[in-house]
Structure 1
Amino acid sequence: MNPIWLPASLLGGLFQAWRTALQQRLRAELSISGAGLVRYLYGVPFAFVFAGIWLTVQREAIPVFGAGFAAFAFAGAITQMAGTILLIMAFGHRGFVVGTAFSKTEAVQAALVTALFLGERLPLLAWIGIVAGVAGVLMLALAGRGVSWREIWRALGQPAALCGLGAGSMFALAAIAVKLATAELDGVDLIGSALITLVVVMATQTALHLAWVSVRDRDTLRAVCRQWRTSSQVGLLSALGSACWYIGFAAAPAALVRIVGQVEVIFTIGFAHFYLREPVRWHEIVGLLLVVGGVMMALLATF
């Protein structure tokens, strides 16, 4: 594994939590579709800039895109879009912190899928870290109520849980698709392949989402244009966060990147408390500590 995966994963968590906090603010002004659109529409110009600067500095040419790359990049674009919409829907049911917490089951889902279909094996300590992280997510999801099978079942049956779990599944599939797409590019280094994949994925997402709102929801398109100041910030953070994630996926097993990326929950609680003015309760602190412990175990398992 290339060691760049670790700082990339940590920075990806920071930028994603920051971007999602801004998106939550936009939900008051835009529809769910509009809040998702700004991520792609305002993010793709920054993605082009990042890729262009890197290829220029490295003196590398744009590689030829094969059918395999196109298929994996398209799959990554679709699943990431679906995950984003489901995550924003979860916010509307239970709030910013818990909506994000439900989606963090993505780490477990990615680990299981890659183990079954890609043959990526993680050490036992990493799996223990995954379990600890899931326990932390569960603590957040149950909102401080007693952890019993009845409460677990009730929590999982709520709309926020279903949206969050669905978002986690989509993000896990997107991570795997992106990793496979970067592996299809020849003639560029690891970072170059990640940034080129980012451009293609975000351009695809922008085209698809613009086509949808142009036909079905033109009011949303006008609202997105009016909110260009905040939307451009969301786009920049989206491009930065996705660039970090994609570099991490290209450099290490997708499940490991997502396990470490659970530090996003730390940043999420911070943004929820200081930026969105949501109160932080005792069970969120306990859940936070479990998530941090899970991340630390996953890191120890790699050395």
Structure 2
Amino acid sequence: MELWIPITIAAAFLQNVRSAMQKHLKGVMGTTGATFVRFGFGAPFALIFVAVLHLGVGYELPAVNARFILWMLAGGVGQIAATFLLIYLFSFRNFAVGTAYSRTEPAQAAIFGLIFLGERVSAGVLAAIAISVFGVMLISVAHTPLSWRALLTSMASRNALIGLASGTLFGVTAVAYRAASLALGGPNFMMQAAITLAWVILFQTLIMAAWMIWKDRAEIGRIARAWKPALIVGLAGASASFGWFMAMTLQQAAVVKALAQVEMIFTFASAVFFFRERINLMEVAGCLLIVGGILLLLAVG
């Protein structure tokens, strides 16, 4: 088994933990605060990852260059906006379905990978992505009478458009992070991922903190009062991001994000066991299609 596969599965699980905790935080603070904790409370852990690899393991620190900075900034801004939209979406739909709308990310990452990096994916990988995305579309109409018209018109709803916009930004972000990590040129995928994560998350923390100081200082107090669960979000988020960055240094962003659809399985488990949400047969069918797409991806990838 290629190393990027277990790394991606672990990152997907940790991302689901982070998302579940962020939904909990959405009940005690605003969307801005719930978005900030992912970055602000994750920054110390990102720096610890770098310190362990450099001081503990002995890996050299790579030299930062202009190409790295440009891609890092693009990914950092895109991820803030994508995360904000995804958390905002939780206000309108249940946890599992709300997350599903952003799952067109792999298909969009394949397009952006081709445009920005000239990376092509095989027909088998494209088929795997299409099957998984179709599963997401089924989930999006799970609570409406099923028809082709319903399947297509649902994609133009407000909730779907917010989710699709989030997926677009996540797709751009994934490609940007892969480009940034590769721009470092060494010493190895772990240190490249750790340095990319540290720069990105510190940048995001500064941007979000400045925004709250300017626009919503009361949110800072709400974040401070919820520091314990916010710390869990930070640890899970930073660990998940470290996993994504390592996987995307080893493999194309679109392929990594296609396998990352396994997160939907974890999301459904969270929805049922923690949030006590009802999942119907259409959502189960969509989930099975996602699994089928992942299995095809592993077979042809």
**What TM-score do the two structures reach when normalised by structure 2?**
0.97
Contact 1:21-1:276 within 8 A present in 2 as well: no
1:6 CA drift (Å): 0.7
Q: Establish whether residue 213 from structure 1 lines up as the match of residue 212 from structure 2.
A: yes
Unpaired segments ≥5 residues, structure 2: none
Match of 2:105 in 1: 106
Q: Establish whether residue 65 from structure 1 lines up as the match of residue 64 from structure 2.
A: yes
Q: CA RMSD in A?
A: 1.4
Match of 1:295 in 2: 294
* Partner SS, residue 29 of structure 2: coil
Letter in 2 for 1:204: F
Letter in 1 for 2:207: L
Q: Distance in 1 between matches of 2:159 and 2:271?
A: 17
Q: Establish whether residue 243 from structure 1 lines up as the match of residue 215 from structure 2.
A: no
Q: Distance in 2 between matches of 1:70 and 1:122?
A: 26
Q: Deviations over 1:261-292 (max 9, x none)?
A: 00000000001111112122111111110000
Match of 1:253 in 2: 252
Letter in 2 for 1:14: F
Q: Map residues 8-27 of structure 1 onto 2, 5 A cutoff.
A: 8-27=7-26
1:258 CA drift (Å): 0.2
1:184 CA drift (Å): 1.3
1:187 CA drift (Å): 4.2
Contact 1:102-1:165 within 8 A present in 2 as well: yes
1:173 CA drift (Å): 0.5
* Partner SS, residue 104 of structure 1: helix
Q: Deviations over 1:54-99 (max 9, x none)?
A: 1223312322211111111111100010100010111111121111
Q: Map residues 144-163 of structure 1 onto 2, 5 A cutoff.
A: 144-163=143-162
Q: Distance in 2 between matches of 1:60 and 1:12?
A: 22
Match of 2:54 in 1: 55
| Bigger shift: residues 109-118 or 87-96 | 109-118
1:144 CA drift (Å): 4.1
Q: Deviations over 1:25-80 (max 9, x none)?
A: 11111100010000001001011111210122331232221111111111110001
Q: Distance in 1 between matches of 2:210 and 2:116?
A: 34
1:114 CA drift (Å): 1.5
Contact 1:3-1:251 within 8 A present in 2 as well: no
**What TM-score do the two structures reach when normalised by structure 1?**
0.96
1:113 CA drift (Å): 2.0
Question: Number of aligned pairs?
Answer: 301
Q: Deviations over 1:203-252 (max 9, x none)?
A: 00000000000111011011001100100000000001100000011000
1:121 CA drift (Å): 2.2
Match of 2:74 in 1: 75
1:126 CA drift (Å): 1.4
Match of 1:280 in 2: 279
- Percent same amino acid among aligned pairs? 35
Letter in 1 for 2:110: A
CA, structure 1 residues 109+147, in 2 after alignment: closer, same or farther (shift >3 Å)?
farther
Q: Distance in 2 between matches of 1:280 and 1:192?
A: 41
1:183 CA drift (Å): 1.0
Q: Distance in 1 between matches of 2:64 and 2:56?
A: 21
Q: Distance in 2 between matches of 1:187 and 1:60?
A: 10
Match of 1:127 in 2: 126
* Partner SS, residue 91 of structure 2: helix
